[in-house]
Amino acid sequence: MTTRKLKIINVVGARPNFMKIAPILRAIHQHNSSPLAKEVCIESLLVHTGQHYDYEMSKVFFKDLDLPEPEIYLEIGSGTHGEQTGKVIIEFEKVLFKEKPDLVIVVGDVNSTMACTLAAAKLEIPVAHVEAGLRSFDRSMPEEINRIVTDALSTFLFTPSADGDENLIKEGIAKNKIFRVGNVMVDSLLTHKEKAIESKILQTLGLQKNRPYVLLTLHRPSNVDDQESFSKIVEALTVISKKLPVIFPVHPRTKKQIDSFGLQNIFQSMDSSSGIGNTGIYCTTPMGYLDFMKLEMSSTLVMTDSGGVQEETTALGVPCLTLRNTTERPVTVSEGTNTMVWNNTEKIIEEAFRIMNGGARKGTIPELWDGKTAERIVNILMEAYLNET
């Protein structure tokens, strides 16, 4: 029997993509190590566009997630949305001409996701979008535009929850293209949870075992580029941090805005010699995947404007306050541990104190968030390939 080959290019562009592609690459490897590989072997290439961070800054995530070195690195770098999108299309099209893949897998909603989808679709190469169907219904968010365009052009749409299916059907996507497979981010979380438990980040920060604290992430332009919005959030953080210390791994964009708005005196730089005090907002450098997960699972409360963190806290059962007025992950609110508070100072304080006083609501784990999402994705792709050939 002749072994057939399915050639797949997997795309990552920025750090949120790494946690989503790692389980897929692992599932592909498992397929190629199984008896099924005698019938169809998957040739897999990893393309890193370098959209937000250079490869050196990405290395900690590659190490934490056991990701292989990318075969192709495009070195796109920062720029406006148009610049990034255009550069990725130009460079990725060259990769497609050279490699001639049977399929492109894109994940999430960053500019690289949309740009690589556009390049593939123009060349009539099928695209599989992992994390399809998510909608905030806020088109002022660049990610929303990326999601809509990517879904419209994809052949396989892999959704994490029922609302994703419903959104796609309302947009006229054929039902036979939609596959609810669960949340691939949870695959990474469950795979690496035991390793994260062993992280020494609490000791590094001077946090004794079982000591309560709040974990904060904040990076969206609508929050940190708008001084009025940022000030409302900072006002709430100042009150909350008088009861519990707030640990804040600072995104480079946010650090720049803190300096620009003259808010340096409110945020304390982390001094490893003195550790975290009983009160205050403590800034640290950005963290790797395992250290951050350890901080998440050990925290009293997480405050964030990140979509991925909303999912992770729901999967971990940790209370989460989302500093946005919309979410593309409503299942984390309806079923999980997430509460929307936007930049409403009073609501942020009220909800944070409710949680700190033991009033956090108990969430449940959404259906199919079981760590087997990537396996389901690869099985669906293999079945489709076998039916076509």
Give yes or no on whether 4-182+369-388 and 198-359 have one common fold.
Answer: yes
Question: Of 177, 147, 239, 184, nearest to 28 (Cα)?
Answer: 184
pLDDT tens by residue, 168-207: 999 999 999 999 999 999 999 999 999 999 999 999 998 8
Domain boundaries, the chain: 4-182+369-388, 198-359
Residue in this structure with the two tokens 């250290």, named with its chain if needed? 291
Cα four-point dihedral sign 208, 341, 20, 379: positive
pLDDT at 272 over 70: no
What's the token pair of residue 249?
């791994």
Quick one: pLDDT at residue 25? 98
pLDDT tens by residue, 311-367: 999 999 999 999 999 999 999 999 999 999 999 999 999 999 999 999 998 999 999
pLDDT at 270 over 70: no
Dist CA 297 CA 188 (whole Å): 14
CATH class of the structural domain 4-182+369-388 = alpha beta
- Top pLDDT among 108 and 36 is at 108
CB 241 within 8 A of CB 281: yes
Active-site residue set: 219
Q: What is the pTM of this model?
A: 0.96
pLDDT tens by residue, 65-106: 999 999 999 999 888 999 999 999 999 999 999 999 999 999
- Confidence grade of residue 6 (pLDDT, cut at 50, 70, 90): very high
CATH assignment, 198-359 = 3.40.50.2000
- For 30-63, letters b (16+ CB in 10 Å) and e give ebeeeebeeebbbebbbbbbbbbbeeeebebbbe
Look over the chain and give the mean of its residue pLDDT values, rounded to a whole number: 94
Residue 80's Cβ-count burial label (10 Å; 0-12, 13-18, 19+) is exposed
